[in-house]
Amino acid sequence: MKDVVVIGGGPSGMAAAVKLAGKGYDVALIERKEELGGILDQCIHDGFGTKIFGKALSGPEFAGHFMDEVSKLGLDVHLNTYVKSVNAGGDVKELVTVSPRGVERIKARSIVYAIGCRERHPFEIKVGGTRPAGVYTAGMVQRLVNLYGILPGRRVLIVGGGDVGMIVARHLYLEGVESITVVFPEEFFVGLPRNVQQCILDFNIPFRPRTVVKEMVGKERVEGAILVKVDENWRPIPGTEEFYPCDTVIFSVGLVPYAKKLRAIGAEIDPRTRGPVVNEFFETTVRGVFAAGNLVQIFDYVDDAVESAYIAADGVEKYLKGEKRLDNPVPFKPGSNVRTLTPHRLEWKDERPVVAFLRPAVEGRAWIIVRGGNGEILKKEFRQYVRPSTLERIEIPREAISGAEEVYVDVARV
């Protein structure tokens, strides 16, 4: 029987497995693909690792660091392995896996889920029209271009003003596509400012704010899309429809935690993050089952996703050692101007600060305020600039929230 099984061989899964193995625990790492690395295998641009390693690495370089650590530690790695079912009840968890070796059962004392997220598709944002060839998600395009050397098209329309869409636009420009236009419903790009500058402005890539795709046009292959202007509430403005000719439409309209596997074992899901409800050590509402990385919420930086895996590994250790929990868990709630917040509750007796991640609902100079249920301020931290597109991180000393019956986190503009 394993001490812990980590499901998912991306950066977060590898980070959790490496840290737990370094603590001396018997770890199995399961990955459904033929290689470790997760989504980073296809992310050849740099910018990864600036927080953890102090330098900008490409996706494969970042993943390669943890792959080397996995190899050095001699971890029990199961590639090409699909987890068919999990029985997480009781102290012993049982997983049923399917692989070229056949159907196997693995027993473990704890589980860490690090299975990441999925891309939203066109039908989730209610795009009408036909279903021709030439319609992709941004992640699929990265895989086609970076791993297989296949250019998806020549005249490209990219839908979405986030980071991935901007990065794909730059890459396709450098690969020599004939034309690129980026459309999005917001007033301006919603990704990181560095990507706006380095991916769009530096290459003079055309973009249209306050614009969405109303309908895709084409029978066998995409022939174009009907674009329409929208108001500040994203409502289409009648009479602004326009046909945009293209042979490829790429949707980069957000990521969603792949939480249905956790829902299947009874874990509670947060409707805001669409990931699991977790405590300060990223344990779900199922005892002994932890989550890490983009499965919990969508992180802007892989460094933060890896930090969540390290914290989850510490939580696994506390669980396996049977350390004491609080008699009454403390709810941790998003307050004013906060869209999402993790963790959702404080549950363990521990002296380490609580690391919280929050997504603001406002933009500008602001204070991040941690307060008790009665309104008393427990911690206050100034930020020069916050925006909804950037996840904020704050450390909260345990002594600051000691005795609080509930904790709220607000963002107050200056």
Per residue in 152-176, pLDDT tens?
Answer: 999 999 999 999 999 999 999 999 9
Taking the model in full, what pTM does it have? 0.93
Return d(Cα 353, Cα 379) in angstroms, integer: 12
Q: Indicate if 107 and 132 belong to the same structural domain.
A: no
Return d(Cα 375, Cα 88) in angstroms, integer: 39
User: Are 213 and 135 within 8 A, CB to CB?
Assistant: no
- From 210, 226, 253, the end of a domain falls on 253
Amino acid letter, 317: E
Give the residue-averaged pLDDT of 136-145.
Answer: 95
Task: Locate the DSSP E strands across 235-302.
Answer: 242-245, 248-251, 255-257, 289-291
Residue 191 has pLDDT above 90, yes or no: no
Q: Indicate if 270 and 376 belong to the same structural domain.
A: no
Specify the pLDDT at position 211. Answer: 97
Q: Indicate if 47 and 192 belong to the same structural domain.
A: no
- From 270, 304, 323, the end of a domain falls on 323
User: What percent of the chain has pLDDT above 70?
Assistant: 100
Specify the pLDDT at position 256. Answer: 95
- pLDDT tier, 71 (very low <50, low <70, confident <90, very high otherwise): very high
Lowest-confidence pick of 111-120, 121-130, 256-265, 368-377: 121-130
- pLDDT tier, 192 (very low <50, low <70, confident <90, very high otherwise): confident
| CATH number where 241 lies | 3.50.50.60
- pLDDT tier, 146 (very low <50, low <70, confident <90, very high otherwise): very high
Per residue in 230-243, pLDDT tens?
Answer: 999 999 999 999 99
Return d(Cα 295, Cα 276) in angstroms, integer: 8
Q: Indicate if 219 and 363 belong to the same structural domain.
A: no
- pLDDT tier, 183 (very low <50, low <70, confident <90, very high otherwise): very high
Q: Indicate if 4 and 113 belong to the same structural domain.
A: yes
Per residue in 242-251, pLDDT tens?
Answer: 999 999 999 9
In the chain, the largest separation of any two C-alpha atoms, in whole Å, equals: 66
- From 233, 253, 273, the end of a domain falls on 253
User: What percent of the chain has pLDDT above 90?
Assistant: 93
Q: Indicate if 259 and 383 belong to the same structural domain.
A: no
Specify the pLDDT at position 373. Answer: 87
Give the residue-averaged pLDDT of 226-230.
Answer: 97
Q: Indicate if 296 and 369 belong to the same structural domain.
A: no
Specify the pLDDT at position 210. Answer: 97
Q: Indicate if 98 and 17 belong to the same structural domain.
A: yes
Return d(Cα 343, Cα 354) in angstroms, integer: 9
Return d(Cα 269, Cα 48) in angstroms, integer: 29
Q: Is 287 helix (H, G, I), strand (E, B) or coil?
A: coil
Q: Indicate if 127 and 247 belong to the same structural domain.
A: yes
Q: Indicate if 409 and 338 belong to the same structural domain.
A: yes
Give the residue-averaged pLDDT of 39-46.
Answer: 91
Q: Indicate if 76 and 183 belong to the same structural domain.
A: no
Give the HSE-up count for residue 391: Cα atoms under 13 Å, Cβ half-sphere: 19
Residue 402 has pLDDT above 90, yes or no: no
Specify the pLDDT at position 294. Answer: 97
Q: Is 199 helix (H, G, I), strand (E, B) or coil?
A: helix
Q: Indicate if 2 and 104 belong to the same structural domain.
A: yes
Specify the pLDDT at position 123. Answer: 86
Q: How many domains does the chain have?
A: 3
Per residue in 240-296, pLDDT tens?
Answer: 999 999 999 999 999 999 999 999 999 999 999 999 999 999 999 999 999 999 999
Structural domain span for residue 225: 121-253
- pLDDT tier, 194 (very low <50, low <70, confident <90, very high otherwise): confident
Amino acid letter, 344: H
